[in-house]
């Protein structure tokens, strides 16, 4: 099986993602931004970085990259897509996940370790997680998750919140100004998925915590979850499950910016 990792101009975690996929035991394939061809991969990762320099705002130029045409078609056919940090921003700008990523509440770049905890263990992106908090790094200037109250309520009701920022005791860091919430995200949301459940965005970097030599390999559970879910999808003949092709989520402007 092969997992694709997109490289945009300005990506800086593509190699980390390729490495994490390799450590997890499958072939990692680099996908270039200028081509919509995904080369038959079983899942796609949009990595962290500053795609196209994040000019105008993070992810807004990358959403028009040729490779995103292929990613959108793949997602519409029930393929699994994971966006990490800048990849999350690109997915949000493309309308493939709900909500928006705004400037950090502090108006400063956040680069440190944080604790996140999966909200559910039955998604394609969390199935191999233990349910315990994970200590992973963040590195972003526009990571504040935002959506209006109606969208937030809908997201919660359908299980669309995958990860939250948590305090040392494992409780959600719901106060936007508390240190455990590194960017002021509403309801401490660190990761979400689309209504179909096959596209997810996560602001922290699990791929940077995929080897014990880095301090912990706790982030590898997210990568393994993606791989295991993609393997099942392949084994089933790449089914296009009824109801999984959904209308794009609201863009940043529509979400209330």
Residues forming the active site: 85, 205, 207
Report the distance separating Cα 124 and Cα 206, nearest Å.
15
Report the distance separating Cα 31 and Cα 236, nearest Å.
24
In terms of Cα–Cα distance, which of 155, 158, 177, 164 is closest to 204? 164
Distance of alpha carbon 71 from the chain centroid: 14
Distinct helix (H) and strand (E) counts, the chain:
5, 11
Distance of alpha carbon 85 from the chain centroid: 6
* Alpha-helix runs per DSSP H in 59-145: 66-76, 86-93
């Amino acid at each position: 099986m092969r997992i694709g990792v997109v490289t945009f101009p300005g990506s800086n975690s593509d190699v980390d993602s390729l490495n994490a996929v390799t450590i997890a035991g499958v072939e990692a394939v680099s996908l270039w931004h200028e081509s919509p061809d995904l080369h038959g991969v079983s899942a796609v990762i949009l990595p962290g970085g500053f795609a196209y320099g994040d000019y105008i705002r993070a992810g807004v130029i990358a959403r028009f990259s040729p490779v995103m045409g292929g990613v959108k078609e793949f997602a519409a056919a029930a393929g699994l897509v994971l966006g990490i940090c800048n990849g999350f921003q690109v997915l949000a700008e493309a309308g493939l996940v709900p909500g928006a990523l705004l400037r950090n509440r502090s108006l400063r770049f956040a680069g440190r370790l944080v604790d996140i905890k999966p909200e559910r263990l039955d998604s394609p992106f969390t199935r191999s997680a233990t349910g315990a908090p994970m200590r992973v790094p963040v590195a972003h200037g526009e990571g504040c998750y935002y959506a209006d109250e109606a969208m937030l309520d809908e997201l919660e009701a359908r299980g669309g919140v995958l990860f939250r920022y948590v305090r040392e005791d494992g409780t959600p860091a719901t106060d936007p100004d508390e240190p455990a919430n590194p960017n002021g995200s509403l309801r401490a949301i660190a990761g979400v998925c689309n209504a179909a459940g096959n596209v997810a965005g996560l602001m922290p970097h699990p791929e940077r915590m995929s080897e014990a030599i880095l301090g912990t390999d706790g982030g590898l559970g997210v990568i393994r979850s993606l791989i295991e879910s993609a393997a099942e999808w392949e084994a089933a003949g790449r089914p296009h499950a009824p109801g999984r092709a959904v209308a794009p989520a609201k863009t940043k402007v529509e979400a209330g910016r």
